[in-house]
């Protein structure tokens, strides 16, 4: 899949920031907010794969956030964090529509494993995509062209998958930045241009990524 995007909704600022930073170190795109109202707003604005949602949140309680998002973001999986140790409390969160829960305090490695598992459960594209002589195995994150293996970085692979997913339509640089990076990417940097240049070089000739002047990029 493209870069897995995770939204962390947690009111303990240090914990939230640590989770966000740790997830980015693990290769996820992670955004962080600190209250329930901001969580709902952000989740409705961007297509997240997984939301790490604290239950005891200010402004809007985590239960209400979960209930609101379950009906509005059907493809997003929710991992609820709770300090509650009673089974009844945890079951209540699952009954609201959460896909999984994790009791505080938790090991970060377990949180990462659960986020990965939930991301795999999210609706995804077919595991192998072909475009002319280009073959991309999304599950194994491998690509080849005319039988020649192509070694791609995580970002290059994510950009390629975005382009494949739109079936020849034009994708703007802004949309690539949104879908293959996260909100921490600098919109004024040349990161998209540089990544596309490297991707083009690796894909080889004849050139498969076309620049549509003033609009964006697409696969020929």
Which domains can be identified in the chain, with CATH numbers? 5-121 (3.40.50.2300), 128-219 (1.10.10.10)
Distance CA 146, CA 155 (A): 22
**Per the omega criterion (within 30 degrees of 0), is the bond before 197 cis?**
no
- Of 43, 55, 139, the closest CA to residue 90 belongs to 55
Instruction: Kindly report the pTM of this predicted structure.
Output: 0.59
Distance CA 181, CA 175 (A): 10
**Per the omega criterion (within 30 degrees of 0), is the bond before 206 cis?**
yes
Q: How far apart are the first and last CA of the chain?
A: 21
CA 147 to chain centre: 29
Q: Is 137 left (phi over 0), alpha (psi -120 to 50) or beta?
A: beta
Measuring CA to CA, how many Å separate 58 from each of 9, 12, 79, 90, 144? Answer: 11, 10, 18, 19, 49
Per-residue pLDDT in tens (0 to 9) along the chain, 220 residues? 456 889 999 999 999 999 999 999 888 889 999 999 999 999 988 888 899 999 989 999 999 999 888 867 657 899 999 876 666 666 666 777 888 888 888 999 999 999 988 887 755 445 678 888 888 887 677 889 988 999 998 888 888 888 888 777 888 888 888 777 766 666 556 788 898 999 999 999 999 998 888 888 888 8
């Amino acid at each position: 899949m493209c870069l897995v995007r995770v939204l962390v909704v947690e009111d303990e600022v240090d914990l939230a920031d640590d989770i966000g930073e740790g997830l980015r170190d693990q290769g996820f795109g992670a955004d962080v907010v600190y209250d329930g109202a901001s969580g709902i707003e952000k989740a409705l604005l961007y297509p997240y794969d997984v939301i790490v949602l604290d239950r005891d949140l200010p402004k809007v309680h985590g239960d209400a956030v979960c209930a609101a998002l379950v009906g509005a973001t059907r493809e997003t999986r929710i991992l609820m964090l709770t300090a509650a140790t009673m089974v009844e409390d945890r079951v209540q969160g699952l009954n609201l529509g959460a896909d999984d829960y994790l009791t505080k305090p938790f090991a970060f490695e377990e949180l990462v494993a659960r986020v990965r598992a939930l991301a795999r459960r999210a609706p995804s594209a077919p595991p192998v995509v072909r475009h002319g002589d280009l073959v991309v195995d999304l599950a194994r994150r491998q690509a080849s062209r005319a039988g020649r293996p192509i070694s791609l970085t995580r970002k290059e692979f994510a950009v390629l998958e975005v382009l494949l997913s739109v079936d020849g339509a034009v994708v703007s640089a802004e949309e690539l930045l949104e879908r293959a990076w996260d909100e921490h990417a600098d919109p004024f940097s040349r990161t998209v241009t540089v990544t596309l240049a490297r991707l083009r070089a690796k894909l080889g000739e004849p050139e498969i990524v076309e620049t549509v002047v003033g609009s964006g990029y697409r696969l020929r």
